[in-house]
Amino acid sequence: MVSLKLDGLGARYGRKTIFSDVTTPELEGGCLTALIGANAAGKSTLFRRIAGQISGAGTVRLSGAQRAELRYMPQDTSTSAALTVYEAIVLALKQDSHSWRLERSELAAVDGILRALKIEDLAFRQLGELSGGQRQLVSIAQTLVCRPRIVLMDEPTSALDLYRQFEVLELLQEYARSSGAVVLLALHDLNQVLRYCETALALRNGTLEAVGRTQSILDSALLRRLYGVEARFETCSRGFPIMVVDGIEAAA
């Protein structure tokens, strides 16, 4: 069983504290976990802290996985590299390798992730020629091609059209189930969180406001604290929970 646990995590930029004392129960693999919160709540910095890109207080504890099996996809996927899509995915696959020799199994992995994301037609396009949505799909391919056990993705659907958003979320959900990986996604669309993420972490002003089963922690009071909106939760005709925003909180 793969799991991720945060113990007293903190991070600062200079004298400014971004978040402090972020402690979670064990976040188990096999399902999607959402990281939610308003802009500047500290979500991207938390990802960077977990990924080891910045230092700070506390400990990131991995069970059933090594640090080398963690992959982080940042929010900004722009690049100036003069590479084709295929080359970029191969580089991501080989980033921890001591050899550039490509085995048949590795070529099959690259072909497989291109096929899974339905971007085979982009394989020999230059990265600089791609649209924002296409570049985001390539970044997802780069993140998943080595089948990591811990996956951190910062707004992985932000540049995608509606069809592609749901396609990617279903792919990530199936990846988590089939691999047993911990998959942590920063998402702004809370209806997608309700639909696809079994657990959620809520950040507010650098503090972990809530953590637990998504449908247990997401309520009107939490959304008022996180986003300053008046919202309610209902169940649609197909049995899915949905959030309806009635307006901005008067005091916000």
- Where are the domains positioned within the chain? 1-65+149-218, 79-147
What CATH number labels 1-65+149-218?
3.40.50.300
Task: Please say if the pLDDT value at position 239 is more than 80.
Answer: yes
* Separation between Cα atoms, residue 31 and residue 245, nearest integer Å: 27
Distance CA 154, CA 163 (A): 19
For 178-211, the pLDDT digits (tens) are: 999 999 999 999 999 999 999 999 999 999 999 9
Listed as own residue / partner, the contacts of 73-77 with beta carbons closer than 8 Å and 24 or more positions apart are 73/139, 73/140, 73/142, 73/143, 73/151, 73/152, 73/153, 73/154, 73/156, 74/44, 74/47, 74/48, 74/154, 75/44, 75/154, 75/155, 75/158, 75/186, 77/132, 77/135, 77/136, 77/138, 77/139, 77/159
pLDDT confidence bin for 28, thresholds 50/70/90? very high
Q: What is the mean pLDDT of residues 239-250?
A: 88
Residue 251 has pLDDT above 70, yes or no: no
Query: 13: closest CA among 34, 44, 35?
Result: 44
Q: What is the pLDDT of residue 78?
A: 77
Residues 6+ apart with CB under 8 A from 6: 22, 23, 24, 50, 58, 59, 60, 61
Look at residue 250 in the predicted model and tell me its pLDDT.
58
Nearest to 137 by CA among 109, 116, 151: 116
Local confidence band at 252 (pLDDT 50, 70, 90 cut-offs): very low
Residue 250, φ and ψ in degrees, nearest 5: -55, -40
Answer whether residue 249 shows pLDDT above 90. no
pLDDT tens-digit readout, 70-126: 999 999 877 777 899 999 999 999 987 777 788 899 999 999 999 999 999 999 999
pLDDT of 58 > 90? The answer is: yes
142-180 pLDDT tens trace: 999 999 999 999 999 999 999 999 999 999 999 999 999
Q: What is the pLDDT of residue 99?
A: 73
Q: Which pLDDT value is given to residue 4?
A: 98
